[in-house]
Amino acid sequence: MSEVAHCSYCGAVLARKNDRTTAQLLAVTVAAGIVFVIANVTSILAIEFGGVRADTGVWTAALSLDHGWMFWAALVLAATMFLVPLLQIILLLWVLIFASVARRAPAYKYALVLLHLLRPWSMSEVFLLGSLVVIVKLSSWVHVEAGEGIWALGGLAILLAILSRYDSRDWWDLVEQARP
């Protein structure tokens, strides 16, 4: 059963009972790290035409936007689809590895504040949906192969969604239970 506290003014969720243990959260984060690596080293989409193969992932998609002054759109794409999810996973691993042995991670305050600020800018699931749109878009024209990366990206989107059910306060409570 889920227990949820709502604001009596606006109905927002104030707090939610979270049953997962530190070990389970660490496992989810490690899994997210693994699928993140897979999603970024394998191809997400590929086209084969006339014996030539072109494939793409997060990096190549961002680099293809890098045209003159448009480089900053490439930066935004690389940041929201690659750098921010990567930082989220690293910061969570950092605090959770220490929390799992009942310790507070060094500099955990900075890690948790940064995690809170990064959260709106994490967009792996948008990239996943974009890949699916491209498959449909080009399929009337040329055969588009979904690579291993797209499954990894799907896994990453689900795992990050599980972790983002925990808000800033939950992470602070979890970390500060441990001795300094």
Partner 1 sequence: MSNRPTAAALGLIACHICGLVSPRTATLLRGRCARCGSRVQVRTSRSTERTLAWLLAGMILYIPANLLPVMSIDGIQGRQEATIFSGVSSFWHAGAWGIAALIFIASVAVPTTKFIALGHMLWSVRRGALTGQRERTQLYRVVEFIGHWSMLDVAVVGLTSALLQFKALGTAEPRAGIACFCGVVVATMIAALSFDPRLIWDGEASNG
Packing angle, helices 22-41 and 148-163, rounded to 10:
150
Residue pair 145/48 in contact by the 8 Å Cβ criterion: yes
**Least distance CB 151 / partner 1 (angstroms):** 16
Give whichever of 65 and 93 is closer to partner 1, judged by the CB atom.
65
Residue with Cβ nearer partner 1 (26 or 62): 62
Q: Are 50 and 142 in contact, with CB atoms under 8 Å apart?
A: no
The separation between CA 13 and the C-alpha centre of its own chain, rounded to angstroms, equals 22
Please spell the DSSP secondary structure of 86-109, one letter per residue.
Answer: HHHHHHHHHHHHHHHTTBPPTTHH
- Closest to partner 1 by CB, 23 vs 139, is 139
Pick 23 or 126: Cβ nearer partner 1: 126
**55 membership: H or E segment, kind and range:** strand 52-56
Q: Which is nearer to partner 1, 23 or 109 (CB)?
A: 109
Least Å from the CB of residue 30 to partner 1: 25
Contact 80, 38 (CB under 8 A): no
Binding site for partner 1 (CB under 8 A): 8-12, 44-47, 49-50, 52, 54-56, 60-65, 67, 69-70, 72-74, 76-77, 80-81, 109, 112-113, 116-117, 120-121, 123, 126-127, 129-131, 133-134, 136-138, 140-142, 144, 167-169, 172, 176
- Provide, rounded to whole angstroms, the least separation between the CB of residue 37 and partner 1: 20
> Shortest distance, CB of residue 1 to partner 1, whole angstroms?
23
Least distance between partner 1 and beta carbon 2 (Å): 19
Token reading at 111: 């890690």
Q: Coil, strand or helix: which one is 126?
A: helix
